Structure formats: structure tokens, C-alpha cells
A and B are shown apart, each in its own frame.
Chain A
Amino acid sequence: MLRVVSGLVFAFLMLPLLVLFPISFSSGTYLRFPPPGFSLKWYVRYFGDTAWIDATYRSLQIGAATTVLALLLGILLAFGLVRGRFRGRSLIENGISAPIIVPHIVLSIAIYGLFSRLGLIGEWYGVAIAHTVLALPFVVIVLLAGLRDFDVNLELAARGLGAGRLAAVRTVTLPILAPSVYSAAFLAFITSFDELVVAMFIAGANMTLPKKMFDNILSEIEPTVAAVSAIQIVLVSALLVLGTRLRRPATPTNALTR
């Protein structure tokens, strides 16, 4: 019984995603099912159109920048919260989730207001910084969990064996934290790459991919968006598979020195 219900739910979750694939290969212009014929023209349309490729590139660029920035700030914050002994730690830890609770639309227009006075509308790095605010809570949550799981004695042992503070973190702590760091990086990138509401206002004329897709959906139900979506789903699936591979225990390295 449980299996039946769960099976139905899984079908519910997956069905919409699967549906996009046949549509993306449709030779018809309008959303029609079943598709009249097989065609790759929507994929061609996507790859051949500068506007689409520009938007894609911009989203990748912003995503990469967001990931780097969010990871950097997040790692520092996580270390500070876990290793520090100052007051206000729990306040900061609870407060870091605030961007998740605030509706994106509110934050979006708030930042839009600020950025238009600063002339940052349309700049890719402006979007990246705004996305960092959105990604930071996820990064911090994942890293906090990883750091708390980490046995501090390993770092102490490294220092007792002659490693300076930074060297100990670099050679022992970070390698062991690697899975958490990868998860956090993945989360940060996805948060930025898929983000629409903030980008809608702040990216201005230099659109991100989600914004372009959104406009496209509103103006005409044209299956190019289906092609783009299908590509995205494939990429995410690939990343998920890669992720599970990475989680398997690494083989020991043989080098005795770095």
C-alpha cells in the first residue's frame, strides 16, 4: 500500500519532467501532444540564436561568481561559528537563514531600488552579488553540518605533528570536508543559475537564461524553452550521478609529500 502511494507520488514528481523531452523534439510550432513529428529544430534554434547563447553564458558566468563568493564567505562564516567562543553565535546562526524566509519578490525589489541608485542594474556582477545573498544560507547550513561532524582531534594531531594552523586546515580539514564543500558549491550554483525573480529586475536588458525563458513562455508557447529545459534536466541528472560517484571512498594517494 505504501509502495503504491509512493509509486504514484514518484510518478507525479517525474512526469512533468519527462513530458518535456518529447515536446522538445516536436516538429510542430505549438504545444501539441502527441507531437506531429520528430525534429531537432528547437535545439538548433537555441544553439544558433545569439540571444539565447548570450543569456546562457551570462547565467553561467553569474553562477560561477556566485559559487566562488558564497563558498568563500560561507567557509569563513562556518569556521567562525563552529570554532569560535564568542557570544551571539546562535543569533548569527539563526539569522543566516533569513534570506530563505524573506519572499524573493520583496528582496528583489528592495535590491532593485538600491542598485538603480548605484547604477548597478544590468551589470553581471551586481546579479552575482545579489545571488550570493540568496545562496549563502544554503552554503552555510551544509558547511556547518560538515564542520560539526568533523573530528577536531584530527586538526590538533596535525598541528602537534608540525603543521601550522593554516597548513593543518589545508592538508587535513579541507580534504575531509570536501564532500560538504562540493554539495555547498552545487547548491550555490544551482540557486544562482535557476534564479528568476531577482534576476528579472536586476539583470535589466542583459538577461539571464531564466529571464529569457520566462519572457519566451509569456510571449509565445514555443517549444524552444522545452529544448532548453530538456538540456538542463539532462545536465542536472549528470551532475547528480557524478555526485554519487564522488561520494564513494577515494582511493589513497601514494605520494608521501605534496
Chain B
Amino acid sequence: MSEPRAPQAVAQAGRLDIEGVSKTFGEVTALADVSLGVSAGEFVTILGPSGSGKTTLLKVIAGFETADVGRIRVDGADVTDLDPALRNIGMVFQNYALFPHMSVARNVAYPLAMRGMAKREIANRVAEALDMVELGSMAERLPKQLSGGQQQRVALARATVFQPRLLLLDEPFGALDRKLREQMQLEVRRLQRRLGLTTLFITHDQEEALVMSDRVAVMDKGCVQQVGPPHDIYEAPANPFIADFIGESNILAGTVDTPSDGVLRVRLESGRTIQVASRPDVPARIGQRVRVMVRPERFVDLAVGGAAAGINRIDGVVAESAYIGVSDKLRITTPEGLEILIRLPSGPSSRRYGSGEPISAGFHAADARLIEAE
């Protein structure tokens, strides 16, 4: 889906550096020493639950709030104290913030008018921008005459028409229905690649983050918890919060029983031991308390797949089962009180389980990820 980038666009896409930014509102700490670097042309998503500070971060970057501590640099230039009008940053607000008293064309023309561009030039640029989001025919309509998805595209056109160095998007798809959301995700990404714009995208929807981004920065309680490509964030979450927030996970607590090359034996609180792949960056001495994450979809149905060497086995009873089309979601309780969530692919070769049925499921040591040692 990549298209050739426009030559000038690369020259003006900027690099964003957020350095040690903190901000408090009275008693509440919104941002705590946040640092992040975004390369020119990169698409980074800031993902986090409400209250994690992501919107505040966006406002600080745009200039609508000022950081108590820290610097914001665009292409090396310090913009921390610069008036938002001068930062040349495009922003799409959550509710689009289209000017209701101006037509679509005048909305998109606004930033160009503020820059004192010539009328003819403005007309050309506006037409181009509207064509790019396929709204050329709506130029003279008022925002309220447009659908949610259309308004959003106008907001996008307005935020990019003046060739900003940076594009900020604040949970722009919240008000759209699912199908439209997915459509817009693709469109925005396509537009971004075409213009080569450095983009910072805010959302609380982790699926959206994984789909759209070059890199994801997970935030919670004002701190950046982890930054990395979507694959890393999903497969190798740095802490239980991230493991839980992204996708679903089972988090098992235990102590290290025996370390051996590549594989650890971890004794769970319930008494059972499981084999877990070791990590060079996480220390694992005997007796160390650790937490292990296993994604539900990594489980196999032992009745169907058969046991293999090195597999961890969980025997239990199905407490609840839900069929969601693409898979079966099962909640299993084990005799020693463990509750495990597993997902089994649904298909002709898989077995359906009902509530109360016994089940044997297993997972490989490689799929058990050590996420934290205390």
C-alpha cells in the first residue's frame, strides 16, 4: 500500500523530540518526565487508558498547554515557549472542531488565509486538499451538512493543507462506527504515507494502535511505559499493565524453581510448575518472584493437537465459553483455583466445548513470557 512520497514533502516533515516533559494540574500529575523521539515521516501512536496523560501531551506539543519542566523540539528547534499559531503543526481534534459558520472550503482555506497567501494560490491548494480526501464536491457545504466521516476528512484536509511539519490526531475516530473506523484508519495511513508527514496519533483503542503505527508508545499515569513497533509491544510487553492493556493475557505469579539454559522452571502459587523461556534481560535466580504472561491464543487443545515435549499442561473445567466467529473463547478453572482464558480457533477440526466440560490445554515454554521480576 505504499505510494511514492512527494519530493518536497520529505524536506519539510520534521523530527519531533519530547524531552523530559512534566506537567501537573494542582494536585494531579498529568505528565511525569515524558521523553519520546519521533523520526521524520514516522507514524507513532500514543496508546493509553483515559487519564494516562496522552491528551495533555498532545496539547503541550501543540502549544495549548505549557510544560512545567522539559522541552519540545521540532527539527532541533526549541518550540516549548512558542505561540501555537507559529508552530506549524497540524492538529485534528476529537470532535473535529470545524468552524460551523464557514463552508468546507473556507475551513480548509483558513490556515492559508492566516498566512497571507494570495487568493488564487489558496483556491488551488484548497481544491487539491479536498480532492486528496475525495470531498471536492462538498466545498461549498457547511460542516453540519456533512456526515461524521466526511467532517473528519475535512478536518484532515484543513490540518495538512499548509504543509505542516507535524500532524497530531486526538482520538479522531471515536465517534465513527466500526466499519467506518477501519476505513478511516486505512485512509489516514495512506494519506500520511503519501505526504510523508511525521504523525502522532492518540487513541485508547489498542487494536487501532497496532494496525496503524510504525511504533507504539504506551502511556499510563503520565509515564511512557514502553515504546516499540507493534509486534514488540504485543509479544514482549514490558510490564503487567501493558500485557493486560494490549490484547488479552493470562498473568501467572510464581517463584523460580530451577534455572537452566534457555528454560526456567517456575513454581506457581498453586504448586504446579511450568516451563518458561528465560530472558537475558530479566534476572532469574532461584527463589526469585516472577510474573509470567501467556496469551490466550497460544494455547492448544491437547485433545486435538496432542501433547508434545516441553509443553505445559493445564487440566481444568470450562467455566464459560463464548463463540465469537473467528475463535472460541473459553474460561477455564483448574482444581487448584487458577483461572485461565484461552482462545481456540474455531473450524471443522476443532472441538466445541460447553460449560462444565473438562478440558486439557497446553502452551509451549516459548509462549510463556517472563514479564517482570520483583
Tell me, yes or no, whether A binds B.
yes
- Cα separation A258 to B122 with both chains bound (whole Å): 12
A172 within 8 A of B: yes
CB distance from A75 to the nearest CB of B (A): 18
Taking CB as reference atom, which chain B residue is nearest A167? B114
Q: Which of B83, B102, B111 contacts A253 (CB 8 A)?
A: B102
Q: Which of A118-126, A158-166, A223-231 contacts B (4 or more CB under 8 A)?
A: A158-166
Supposing A158-B110, A161-B162, A252-B102 touch, asked if A153 and B83 sit within 8 A by C-beta, the answer is no
Q: What sequence of 0s and 1s flags, for each residue 143-163 of chain A, a beta carbon within 8 Å of any chain B beta carbon?
A: 000000001011011111111
Our count of residue pairs bridging A and B at CB distance below 8 angstroms stands at 93
Q: What sequence of 0s and 1s flags, for each residue 226-258 of chain A, a beta carbon within 8 Å of any chain B beta carbon?
A: 000000000000000000000001101111111
CB distance from B110 to the nearest CB of A (A): 5
CB distance from A21 to the nearest CB of B (A): 40
Taking CB as reference atom, which chain B residue is nearest A161? B111
Q: Are A163 and B64 in contact, CB atoms less than 8 angstroms apart?
A: no
Q: Are B95 and A151 in contact, CB atoms less than 8 angstroms apart?
A: yes
Contacts of A255 in B (CB 8 A): 106
B36 within 8 A of A: no
Contacts of A258 in B (CB 8 A): 113
Q: Are A156 and B115 in contact, CB atoms less than 8 angstroms apart?
A: no
B179 within 8 A of A: no
Taking CB as reference atom, which chain A residue is nearest B140? A252
A176 within 8 A of B: yes
Q: Are B115 and A162 in contact, CB atoms less than 8 angstroms apart?
A: yes
- Cα separation A258 to B93 with both chains bound (whole Å): 25
Q: Are B158 and A161 in contact, CB atoms less than 8 angstroms apart?
A: yes
B330 within 8 A of A: no
Q: Which of B90, B114, B142 contacts A163 (CB 8 A)?
A: B114
Contacts of A7 in B (CB 8 A): none
Taking CB as reference atom, which chain A residue is nearest B161? A161
Q: Are A164 and B83 in contact, CB atoms less than 8 angstroms apart?
A: yes
B89 within 8 A of A: yes
- Cα separation A175 to B119 with both chains bound (whole Å): 22
Q: What sequence of 0s and 1s flags, for each residue 84-97 of chain B, a beta carbon within 8 Å of any chain A beta carbon?
A: 11111111011101
Contacts of B88 in A (CB 8 A): 162
Supposing A159-B84, A162-B114 touch, asked if A256 and B109 sit within 8 A by C-beta, the answer is yes
B99 within 8 A of A: yes
Contacts of A158 in B (CB 8 A): 99, 110
CB distance from A252 to the nearest CB of B (A): 4
Q: Are A250 and B101 in contact, CB atoms less than 8 angstroms apart?
A: yes
Supposing A158-B99, A160-B85 touch, asked if A257 and B119 sit within 8 A by C-beta, the answer is yes
- Cα separation A111 to B113 with both chains bound (whole Å): 49
Supposing A176-B100, A249-B142 touch, asked if A256 and B85 sit within 8 A by C-beta, the answer is no
- Cα separation A171 to B113 with both chains bound (whole Å): 11
Q: What sequence of 0s and 1s flags, for each residue 122-134 of chain B, a beta carbon within 8 Å of any chain A beta carbon?
A: 1100100000000
Q: Are A256 and B97 in contact, CB atoms less than 8 angstroms apart?
A: no
B62 within 8 A of A: yes
User: Measuring CB to CB, which residues of chain A are less than 8 angstroms from any residue of chain B?
Assistant: 151, 153-154, 156-164, 167-168, 171-172, 175-176, 249-250, 252-258
Can you show 9 pairs from A to B with CB atoms below 8 A apart?
A154-B99, A156-B64, A157-B91, A162-B114, A163-B110, A167-B114, A252-B103, A254-B105, A257-B122
